[in-house]
Amino acid sequence: MTLIKAVFDQVPVREILAIARELQSTVLSDSRAVTRKESSEIVTKADLEIQRTLLKYFAESPLAGMYRIKAEEETDNVAESESAYLQLLIDPLDGTNPFVRGEPLWGTMVGVCDSSGVLRYSWNLLSDGSIYCSSASQEMPPASWESVSNRELTIDLFDYGAGLALQARELLGSPCRATSIPCAVWTGWKLLSGELDGLLWLPSKLGKRSYPDYDLVFLGALAARGFKVALGYSDSTTQAVSMVAVAPCEAGLERLWSAGVTLIRNSEYATVRRSEDLSVTSPIVSKQRVSL
Listing DSSP states for 180-229 in one string gives --S-HHHHHHHHHHTS-SEEEE---SSTTSSB-GGGHHHHHHHHHTT-EE
Q: Is the pLDDT score of 74 beyond 80?
A: no
Whether 33 and 8 map to the same domain: the answer is yes
For residue 281, being part of any structural domain is answered with no
Sign of torsion over alpha carbons 275, 277, 281, 285: negative
Whether 176 and 118 map to the same domain: the answer is no
Instruction: Give the pLDDT of residue 288.
Output: 43
Q: What is the DSSP letter of 240?
A: -
Q: Which of 113, 133, 153 is the last residue of a domain?
A: 133
Q: Is the pLDDT score of 185 beyond 90?
A: yes
Instruction: Give the pLDDT of residue 221.
Output: 95
For residue 140, being part of any structural domain is answered with no
> Which region, left, alpha or beta, applies to residue 277 given φ > 0 means left and ψ of -120 to 50 means alpha?
beta
In this prediction, residue 222 has a pLDDT band, given cuts at 50, 70 and 90, of very high
In this prediction, residue 140 has a pLDDT band, given cuts at 50, 70 and 90, of low
Whether 166 and 269 map to the same domain: the answer is yes
Instruction: Give the pLDDT of residue 51.
Output: 93
Instruction: Give the pLDDT of residue 189.
Output: 96
Q: What percent of the chain has pLDDT over 90?
A: 44
Instruction: Give the pLDDT of residue 72.
Output: 76
Residue 16's H or E segment, with its range, is helix 13-29
Whether 129 and 194 map to the same domain: the answer is no
Report the chain's mean pLDDT, rounded to a whole number: 84
Domain residue limits at 233: 145-275
263-248-231 Cα angle (round to 5): 45
In this prediction, residue 235 has a pLDDT band, given cuts at 50, 70 and 90, of low
Mean pLDDT over residues 2-8, rounded? 93
Query: SS3 for 57?
Result: helix
State the Cα–Cα distance between residues 105 and 181, nearest whole angstrom. 8
For residue 290, being part of any structural domain is answered with no
Whether 175 and 119 map to the same domain: the answer is no
Whether 97 and 199 map to the same domain: the answer is no
> Around Cβ 278, how many Cβ atoms within 10 Å?
23
For residue 165, being part of any structural domain is answered with yes
Q: Classify strands 176-179 and 153-158 as parallel, antiparallel or unpaired.
A: parallel
Whether 79 and 153 map to the same domain: the answer is no
Instruction: Give the pLDDT of residue 266.
Output: 61
Task: Give me the number of domains the chain comprises.
Answer: 2
Whether 78 and 34 map to the same domain: the answer is yes
Instruction: Give the pLDDT of residue 286.
Output: 46
CATH number at residue 250: 3.40.190.10
Query: SS3 for 255?
Result: helix
In this prediction, residue 40 has a pLDDT band, given cuts at 50, 70 and 90, of low
Q: Which of 109, 133, 157 is the last residue of a domain?
A: 133
For residue 285, being part of any structural domain is answered with no
pTM for the model stands at 0.89
Cβ(48)–Cβ(72) below 8 Å = no
Give which of 8, 18, 210 is closest to 109, Cα–Cα. Answer: 8
User: Which residue would you say has higher pLDDT here, 75 or 4?
Assistant: 4
For residue 286, being part of any structural domain is answered with no
In this prediction, residue 139 has a pLDDT band, given cuts at 50, 70 and 90, of low
In this prediction, residue 170 has a pLDDT band, given cuts at 50, 70 and 90, of confident
Least confident of 49-53, 68-72, 284-288: 284-288
For residue 61, being part of any structural domain is answered with yes
Whether 6 and 129 map to the same domain: the answer is yes
Whether 154 and 58 map to the same domain: the answer is no
CATH number at residue 98: 3.30.540.10
Instruction: Give the pLDDT of residue 211.
Output: 86
**What is the total residue count of the chain?**
292
Give which of 141, 135, 136, 142 is closest to 120, Cα–Cα. Answer: 135
173-179 — which CB contacts under 8 Å span 24+ positions?
Answer: 175/151, 176/152, 177/152, 177/153, 178/154, 179/154, 179/155
Whether 53 and 125 map to the same domain: the answer is yes
For residue 292, being part of any structural domain is answered with no
State the Cα–Cα distance between residues 177 and 133, nearest whole angstrom. 27
274-to-109, 210, 254, 261, 277 alpha-carbon distances in Å? 24, 15, 11, 10, 9
Whether 101 and 150 map to the same domain: the answer is no
Establish how many alpha carbons lie within 13 A of residue 14's alpha carbon, considering only the half-sphere containing its beta carbon: 1
